[in-house]
Amino acid sequence: MATVACSYTHAIALLHCLLFFSIPQAQQPQVPPSALNQKPCNTVSAIFVFGDSTVDPGNNNYLATPLKSNFPPYGRDFLGHLATGRFTNGRLATDFLASYLGLKDQVPPYLDWTLGASELETGVSFASAGSGYDLLTAQISGVIPVLHQLDYFKDYLAKLDLLMGRRRSQDLIRQAVFVVSAGTNDFVVNYLSVPIRQQRFNLQDYQNFLLHNIRDFLQFEEFDQQGLEELGAQKIVVVGLPPMGCLPIVITLNWKGGFGDRGCIQAYNALSRDFNEKLQIELRYLQSRFAADGGQILYANIYDPLINLILSPSKFGFADAANGCCGTGLVEAALLCNLKSIVCSDASKYVFWDSIHPTEKTYFIVFNSLRQLIDRAC
């Protein structure tokens, strides 16, 4: 596998971009409404989401962290042009999934204390932007580690028991779909940018460390703690890594070519592919044990649909796949993408909204590529 390196100077720049600081008329999102609300099955009761900013609808709004996006121009194309805390211009792939399953149009953040019974009973997201499978990844940004998101889920289960009764709540959990999406921050923000983990792990050992944490999250075997399986989950979808080398900020901090000729960093993409292969092997092993109880653990491949539209953007109606819509599109994210930023007039022409996160249109394409997998989860 190709060697991945990131200088300490790049690390500091990356963390600065991630952690610190005339919008045109909003365009209507170009997402075909006919593709949603089709409800492929009648057995899914709710959706529960764990992970990072790719699936965080606003939990970080309630945390003391600079990794927030509850301000314009984020949410510019969301319903009511609201900046909900989603790190994009509109909806996330999990919002499209919830709509497709006929549950609701958007998945709310669990930490929103105003949520009513109907919202709680149809599912919530526990995800926290900046998080990862490594506890240190979340500590860097002051957010909720993926492993600790299970604690919030346990709190949710106690509330659900009060709302519905123990038997009905157990039935709801068994019929729900669980989505887990994380890992990018563990490499881009943590291992490849901060020297702490490199002193303990080589790259292969760090991948194995993350895989061990994923196994614990799904099926805890140590210290009598409970993973998703022990907490009642029967339908779990684990999302693989994207082509990390194509994130605009990764290109900016690692590109050795000319300024006007920005290409993906192949070493990072090779790392994504390598980890995804190992993740699939791990999930197949867990599935072999999980199947005895009638459960499903499915792998969601987002690398291929993303790399396809990044390498051939015009085929999907995009004009730019190397820069974000917000600001210069090179480094802006979170507080750096703000009301003073120059923003593109039509986000649907861009693969990325800021230097890290996809646009709503990109999220929809990724969701659409996974519909057959979703049908299997039914």
In this predicted structure, the answer to whether residue 75 has a pLDDT above a threshold of 90 is: yes
Per the annotation, the verdict on 354 as an active-site residue is: yes
What radius of gyration do the chain's Cα atoms show?
19
In this predicted structure, the answer to whether residue 29 has a pLDDT above a threshold of 70 is: no
What's the confidence (pLDDT) of residue 220? 62
Q: What are residue 48's DSSP bridge partners?
A: 178
What's the confidence (pLDDT) of residue 22? 29
In this predicted structure, the answer to whether residue 351 has a pLDDT above a threshold of 60 is: yes
Residue 67, SS3 per DSSP: coil
What's the confidence (pLDDT) of residue 4? 59
Residue, of 26 and 135, whose pLDDT is higher: 135
In this predicted structure, the answer to whether residue 2 has a pLDDT above a threshold of 70 is: no
What's the confidence (pLDDT) of residue 27? 39
Q: What are residue 352's DSSP bridge partners?
A: 324, 358
Range name among 83-87, 121-125, 255-259 with the lowest pLDDT average: 255-259
What are the structural domains of the chain? 46-310+359-373 (3.40.50)
* Identity at 290, one-letter amino acid code: F
What's the confidence (pLDDT) of residue 6? 46
Q: 311-342: string of b/e by CB count within 10 Å (b at 16+)?
A: eebeeeebeebbbbbbbebbbbbbbbbbeebe
What's the confidence (pLDDT) of residue 218? 94
Q: What are residue 299's DSSP bridge partners?
A: 238
Per the annotation, the verdict on 357 as an active-site residue is: yes
**Which of the residues 53, 169, 181, 341 is marked catalytic?**
53
| pLDDT tens figures, 368-377 | 999 999 988 7
* Kind of pairing between the strands at 320-324 and 296-300: unpaired
**Which of the residues 95, 169, 355, 357 is marked catalytic?**
357
**Which of the residues 56, 77, 186, 354 is marked catalytic?**
354
What's the confidence (pLDDT) of residue 292? 76
Supply the mean pLDDT for the chain.
89
| pLDDT tens figures, 151-204 | 999 999 999 999 999 999 999 999 999 999 999 999 999 999 999 999 999 999
The pair of structure tokens assigned to 57 is 């609808």
Contacts of 298 (CB under 8 A, 6+ apart): 235, 236, 237, 238, 283, 373, 376, 377
* Identity at 232, one-letter amino acid code: G
Give the pLDDT band of residue 294 (cuts 50, 70, 90).
confident
Give the pLDDT band of residue 52 (cuts 50, 70, 90).
very high
Per the annotation, the verdict on 272 as an active-site residue is: no
Give the pLDDT band of residue 222 (cuts 50, 70, 90).
low
Q: Cβ distance 371 to 34 under 8 Å?
A: no
| pLDDT tens figures, 83-100 | 999 999 999 999 999 999
Taking CA atoms, 210 is separated from 1, 174, 195, 248, 333, in Å, by 18, 26, 17, 24, 25
In this predicted structure, the answer to whether residue 23 has a pLDDT above a threshold of 50 is: no
What's the confidence (pLDDT) of residue 135? 97
The position carrying tokens 């971009």 is 17
| pLDDT tens figures, 159-170 | 999 999 999 999
What's the confidence (pLDDT) of residue 16? 41
Q: Cβ distance 102 to 378 under 8 Å?
A: no
What's the confidence (pLDDT) of residue 145? 98
Which residue in 209, 318, 310 sits closest to 268, CA to CA?
Answer: 310
Percentage of residues in the chain having pLDDT higher than 70: 87
